[in-house]
């Protein structure tokens, strides 16, 4: 796809998608949401892509939020549709079936934090700031912020961020369980690449199974989740990668996973 809002590049089996609106601090407008949806659809269909890294252009922001200038003129019906459009993107990322890493290089506020939370792992620069400041605009989060914060960090953290509307630093985000890990800003890209490469070398079907078990199986009661995990576990035994992985372990060699 070609879009001025995004930069898309591949490094081996890792695809990096960069929001490219640095003059707007990579704010999410309707067009950018649509472009992101198409980019993730393409990544999901491409068997050569095993991992996706999502980040923002420029030194200041991952995504500073939704585009307030565009939102200011929306009617309630249009706002409902905008919310659903954003939520559909977040769910598309969450259910991609391939690991998605958010490389948070600066501000991740409002829709930016919601976008990061839809990713499976979040690696933050120690200079990053995150938050849900919508209440300061007379709004509430509309792209899933209340629900994913609740699931990631618990009721107390969700209420803290959404009611107070104040950003928190990377250290606090790690403490709350929102950040997967925090690294020095000058090490952010190298650490993200290291994690992405580790995932890209893993068995794709096994990664998909883990994501599916946690995201889909985790939405229900424990007994249903355990049964779901059993089904995913059994399916793994039908893959060539399972035979390669166990065979390589027994032979004391490094496995070479094919994705089959």
pLDDT in tens, 93-127: 999 999 999 999 999 999 999 999 999 999 999 99
Give the model's pLDDT for residue 147: 95
Q: Convert the pLDDT of each residue in 29-78 to its tens digit.
A: 999 999 999 999 999 999 999 999 999 999 899 999 988 888 888 999 99
Q: Residue 2's pLDDT is what? A: 62
Do residues 106 and 162 share a domain?
yes
Helices 204-215, 240-251: crossing angle, 10 deg rounding: 110
Q: What percent of the chain has pLDDT over 90?
A: 87
Sheet strands side by side (includes 168-169): 61-63, 107-109, 129-131, 168-169
Do residues 121 and 193 lie in contact, with contact meaning Cβ atoms separated by under 8 Å? Answer: no
CB distance 144 to 114 below 8 Å? yes
pLDDT class of 1 with cuts at 50, 70, 90:
low
List the catalytic residue out of 134, 191, 223, 244.
134
Q: Provide the 3-class DSSP secondary structure of residue 122.
A: strand
Residue 114 appears among annotated catalytic residues: yes
Query: Is 256 an active-site residue?
Result: no
Q: Give residue-wise pLDDT tens across range 185-197.
A: 999 999 999 999 9
CATH assignment at residue 138:
3.90.226.10
As for how many domains the chain has, the answer is 2
Residue 216 pLDDT grade (very low, low, confident, very high; cuts 50, 70, 90): confident
- Same structural domain for residues 235 and 107? no
* Furthest C-alpha separation in the chain: 64
pTM value is 0.93
For 187, the domain range is: 6-200
Q: Is 259 inside any structural domain? A: no
Binned at pLDDT 50, 70 and 90, residue 258 comes out as confident
143 and 226 assigned to the same domain? no
Catalytic, out of 41, 94, 114, 229: 114
Residues above pLDDT 70, as percent of the chain? 99
Whether residues 15 and 84 fall in one domain: yes
In this predicted structure, what is the pLDDT of residue 220? 84
Q: 246: domain CATH number?
A: 1.10.12
Do residue 139 and residue 245 come from a single domain? Answer: no
**Domain for residue 30, yes or no?**
yes
Confidence of residue 143 (pLDDT cuts 50, 70, 90): very high
72/106 same-domain check = yes
Sheet-wide strand order for 121-125: 6-11, 14-19, 51-56, 100-104, 121-125, 181-183
């Amino acid at each position: 796809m070609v879009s001025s809002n995004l930069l898309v590049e591949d490094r081996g089996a890792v695809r990096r998608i960069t929001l490219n609106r640095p003059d707007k601090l990579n704010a999410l407008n309707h067009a950018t949401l649509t472009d992101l949806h198409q980019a993730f659809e393409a990544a999901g269909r491409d068997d050569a892509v095993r991992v996706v890294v999502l980040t923002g252009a420029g030194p200041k922001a991952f995504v500073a939020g939704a585009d307030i200038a565009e939102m200011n003129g929306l009617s309630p019906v249009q706002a409902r549709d905008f919310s659903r459009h954003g939520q559909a993107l977040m769910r598309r990322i969450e259910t991609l079936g391939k690991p998605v890493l958010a490389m948070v290089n600066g501000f991740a506020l409002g829709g930016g934090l919601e976008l990061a939370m839809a990713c499976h792992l979040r690696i933050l620069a120690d200079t990053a700031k995150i938050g849900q400041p919508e209440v300061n605009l007379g709004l509430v989060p509309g792209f899933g912020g209340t629900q994913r914060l609740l699931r990631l960090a618990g009721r107390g953290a969700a209420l803290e961020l959404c009611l107070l509307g104040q950003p928190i630093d990377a250290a606090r985000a790690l403490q709350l369980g929102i950040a997967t890990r925090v690294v020095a800003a000058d090490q952010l890209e190298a650490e993200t690449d290291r994690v992405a490469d580790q995932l890209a070398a893993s068995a794709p079907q096994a990664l998909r199974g883990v994501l599916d078990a946690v995201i889909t199986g985790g939405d229900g009661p424990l007994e249903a989740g355990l049964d779901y995990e059993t089904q995913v576990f059994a399916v793994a035994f039908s893959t060539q990668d399972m035979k390669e992985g166990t065979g390589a372990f027994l032979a004391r060699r490094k496995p070479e996973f094919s994705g089959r």
